[in-house]
Structure 1
Amino acid sequence: MKQINIFLIGLVLLFVLFPFFLSKKVDEKLTYEIEAPIGLVYDEFLDLRKFSKWEQFTGQDSTVVKSFSNEEAEKEFTEWKSTKSDIGNGKIIIDDFEMNKSIEYVLQYQGWEEKDNLKIEFEQKASGNTLLNIHYVSQDVPYFYRYFLFFKSPLTKVEQSIENFNEMVKVRLDKERKEGKLNYGEFRLVKLNRQVLMAIKKTSTLDDKDAMDKTDEAFETIYESLVNEENTYDFDLGFPTVYTTQNDLEKNRKTLFAGINYIEGINFQKGMQRVIVPEGEYLLTLHQGSRSKRKHTIQLMKDYAKSKKINLDDRELEVFLNDPKETDSLQLKTRIYIPIKTN
């Protein structure tokens, strides 16, 4: 009996002292590679309604009740309520983000004073895949709750969420490719037919702002010459287009033609001219975000081409999918084509 008592006392002491040797918080970093373009991946993480379909913080409870913030909320969030003790009630808040670069989440669990932090950085590889750099930092937990971190670390739920997302995104990507949809960060080799533009020639420095100012001047001149007496247009102007024919690094100069698709029967005015964009094989991608970051997208295209041993020309064709003057810079989208050398 005495030996049993000693054994029981030993167990109690072990239970009491063991948390002293356990970590009082989670501070871990993980890296995952997702076989999908960065725009698609980032969108899934930023949209909490999409995020909620594959996250595993609540995935073990099919009866969990979720709600989402409205447009008036200062920061977007999703809340959940669960009757399961290992899930409980909680809230995920998007604390900060930089488009296609990073997202910072705050996780708040009911009954806990402090909050956990989850930061995910998105990096596009030359292959077109997306690298996720994940950093999870939990709050300091009370002494005996360290057992919870040891046996059921919240980092495990992050890993399960990423794995679940990776499987789901493969299905979505296959569907979107069949539909012909192009995502930000995805590269395609396409056959481009001969394009005829009515454009104005501009010469600028290689500085992005100077090039944008010259482009805007050209578009403004073209639109003013085509507007009718009702201050509208008699035809569909199509997508604004910029065709860059020369990038001279030594002279710090570029030559570009800004305009729209040629419209039969229109008289050219105010420096407008007919410009031919030759047909051929092109590398295509989608640029999303500020025009000032276009150079980064071009570099990604060059990195991808190098990884595939594709030789690119110096010319560039950019087609605007929305109006730069009326669209928030984060939502701007353009298709960028770079011709492939055939020799």
Structure 2
Amino acid sequence: MKQINIFLIVLVFLFVLFPFFLSNKVDEKLTYEIEAPIGLVYDEFLDLRKFSKWEQFTGQDSTVIKTFSEEEIEKEFSEWKSTKSDVGNGKIKIDNFEMNQSIDYIFKYEGWEDEDTLSIDFEQTSSGNTLLNVHYTSQEVPFYYRYFLFFKSPLKKVEKSIENFNELVKVRLDKERKEGKLNYGEFRLIKLNKQVLMAIKKSSSLDDNDAMEKVDEAFEVIYKSLINEEDSYDFDLGFPTVYTTEIDSEKKKKTLFAGINFVEGLTLQKGMQRVIVPEGEYLLTMHQGSRNKKKHTLQLMRNYAKSKKIELGDRELEVFLNDPKETDSLQLKTRIYIPIITN
């Protein structure tokens, strides 16, 4: 009996002292590689409605109730309510983000004074996969709650969430590829037919802002020449296109043609000319975001080509999928084609 009492005293003693050896917060960094393009991955993390389908912070309760912020709210958030003690009630808010680069979340658990943070940096590999650099920081917890961090660490929820996401994204990627959809960060080798443009030639510096000003000038001339008496157009203008034919690094100049698909039977106006983009094999990707990020996308294309031992030419064909003047810079989308040199 005495031995049992001593054993119980030792257990109590260990229970009291053990938290001294445990951390009072979580501050860990993890890295995961997802076999999907960065645009698709980023989109899943930025949209909290999509995020809620695979995150495991509330996944232990199938009856949890979730609500989401309205679209006009400046910072998106979602709230949840659960009767399970290990899920509880809480709120997750997107505190900051940069398109296809990073997202910062804040977790606020009901009954706790401070907040947890989850930061994710997105990095695209040369093969087109996405690296997730995850940093989770919890608030400091009271002495005996260190047991909770030890046995129920939020990192386990992060790891399970990424595991669920990885399975889900494979299904979505397969579906979108079958539909022919191109995501930012995804590369394709394609056969491009000959393209005939009605365009205006421009010379600009290598600065993207200067180039875009020259492109805008060209499009303004073209659109004004095609507008009818009702201030509209008699035909579909298609997607605005920019064809860069020469880049002179020494003189820091480039030559480009800004225009639209050639319309048969239409007389070319002053300054406009017929330009042919030759058919052939091209490397295609999607650029999403502001114009000053285009250089980064071009470098990713060349990195990918190098990893696949593909030789690329110097010319570039860029097709705008939305109007730069009427679209938020974060939502701008263009298809970029670079010719492949074949022997």
Aligned to 1:181: 181
Q: Report the more deviating stretch, 111-120 or 67-76.
A: 67-76
Aligned to 1:304: 304
CA RMSD of aligned residues (A): 0.8
Aligned to 2:152: 152
Equivalent AA in structure 2 for residue 112 of structure 1: W
Distance 2:21 2:37 in 1: 42
1:54 matched to 2:54? The reply is yes
Identity of aligned residues (%): 82
The alpha-carbon deviation at position 145 of structure 1 amounts to 0.2
1:72-221 alignment runs, 5 A limit = 72-221=72-221
Aligned to 1:40: 40
TM-score in terms of structure 2 length:
0.99
Aligned to 2:294: 294
Equivalent AA in structure 2 for residue 186 of structure 1: E
The alpha-carbon deviation at position 156 of structure 1 amounts to 0.5
Contact 1:318–1:335 (Cα < 8 Å) also in 2: yes
Unmatched 5+ stretches in structure 1: none
Aligned to 1:316: 316
Distance 2:298 2:336 in 1: 8
Aligned to 2:235: 235
Equivalent AA in structure 1 for residue 12 of structure 2: V
1:21-40 alignment runs, 5 A limit = 21-40=21-40
SS of residue paired to 1:342: coil
The alpha-carbon deviation at position 71 of structure 1 amounts to 2.4
Unmatched 5+ stretches in structure 2: none
SS of residue paired to 1:167: helix
SS of residue paired to 1:197: strand
Contact 1:77–1:92 (Cα < 8 Å) also in 2: yes
SS of residue paired to 1:53: coil
Aligned to 1:272: 272
Aligned to 1:246: 246
Listed one character per residue, the Cα deviations across residues 80-115 of structure 1 (whole Å, up to 9, x for unaligned) are 111111111111100000000000000111111110
The alpha-carbon deviation at position 265 of structure 1 amounts to 1.4
Equivalent AA in structure 2 for residue 315 of structure 1: R
Distance 1:72 1:245 in 2: 43
TM-score in terms of structure 1 length:
0.99
Q: Report the more deviating stretch, 57-66 or 157-166.
A: 57-66
SS of residue paired to 2:161: helix
The alpha-carbon deviation at position 5 of structure 1 amounts to 2.3
Equivalent AA in structure 2 for residue 86 of structure 1: D
> Are residues 72 and 253 of structure 1, via their aligned partners in 2, closer, same or farther at CA, if it must alter by over 3 Å?
closer
Distance 1:52 1:284 in 2: 32
Distance 1:74 1:231 in 2: 36
Distance 1:101 1:36 in 2: 15
The alpha-carbon deviation at position 59 of structure 1 amounts to 1.0
Distance 1:263 1:178 in 2: 31
The alpha-carbon deviation at position 266 of structure 1 amounts to 1.2
Number of equivalenced pairs: 343
Distance 2:87 2:169 in 1: 25
Distance 1:237 1:100 in 2: 30
